[in-house]
Chain A
Amino acid sequence: GDSVTQMEGPVTLSEEAFLTINCTYTATGYPSLFWYVQYPGEGLQLLLKATKADDKGSNKGFEATYRKETTSFHLEKGSVQVSDSAVYFCALSRTGTASKLTFGTGTRLQVTL
């Protein structure tokens, strides 16, 4: 079955540091890939997405590239801020399967001054 593997957290960084959160997936065919962010006390929000190989999703300074050869979708940001502290979920969805999402376990990011 489909699965998503994320690096375990928590990840603690100083403000302005470079961020990478690794995500790899297992799925047949060509799934769509997503990063969701969950701020404290709030629901998950779509951060970025990519629907085909070599696509780069980007939003709010975050970016991730769909790498089919390595089945990866790593999240990166060049300079994190305290306000980026949240839990980040990598997810996939099979095209045409009524939008069922398969999530990774989530990675908590804590950014300090």
Chain B
Amino acid sequence: GAVVSQHPSRVICKSGTSVKIECRSLDFQATTMFWYRQFPKQSLMLMATSNEGSKATYEQGVEKDKFLINHASLTLSTLTVTSAHPEDSSFYICSARDLGVPPLDTQYFGPGTRLTVL
């Protein structure tokens, strides 16, 4: 089946630094990737939709300059949390849509990245 990986799985950084998270589709091409954020005991909240070769579409309330998304190829999207602060600590999850699957909303999810900002 389709596999999506994320790197790193866990990262701890100091306040004020920037952190980059990678999302890769390993065995399929993904024109669209999604970035979610999950707070403890809460649902996944969509942050942005990333389309290969174009600017990401951010959900209302998500700071574009804070969460930089780049989707430079059909298998890789990156999320950079700039000038991270403790309130950015969360579980970040990406998903990718397979070109080969009918457009019935089949997304394949990565295992997530736990970000802790000290």
Chain A interface residues toward B at CB < 8 A:
4, 32, 34, 36, 41-46, 49, 51, 89, 93, 98-106
Q: Are A103 and B43 in contact (CB under 8 A)?
A: yes
Ordered nearest first, which 8 A-B pairs have the shortest CB separation?
A43-B109, A44-B109, A93-B105, A103-B43, A43-B111, A99-B105, A105-B43, A103-B44
Q: Does B32 contact A (CB under 8 A)?
A: yes
Would you mind naming 17 contact pairs between A and B with Cβ atoms under 8 Å apart?
A32-B105, A43-B4, A43-B6, A43-B93, A43-B108, A93-B105, A99-B32, A99-B105, A100-B46, A101-B34, A101-B44, A101-B105, A101-B107, A102-B46, A103-B43, A105-B43, A106-B43
- Known contacts A43-B4, A43-B112, A49-B104; decide if A100 and B49 are in contact (CB<8 Å): yes
* Minimum C-beta distance from A98 to chain B (A): 6
Q: Are A44 and B93 in contact (CB under 8 A)?
A: yes
- Known contacts A43-B111, A46-B106; decide if A101 and B43 are in contact (CB<8 Å): no
* Minimum C-beta distance from B79 to chain A (A): 15
Q: Are A99 and B43 in contact (CB under 8 A)?
A: no
A100 to B36 alpha-carbon distance, docked (Å): 11
Among B41, B42, B93, max chain A CB count under 10 A is at B41
Contacts of A105 in B (CB 8 A): 41-43
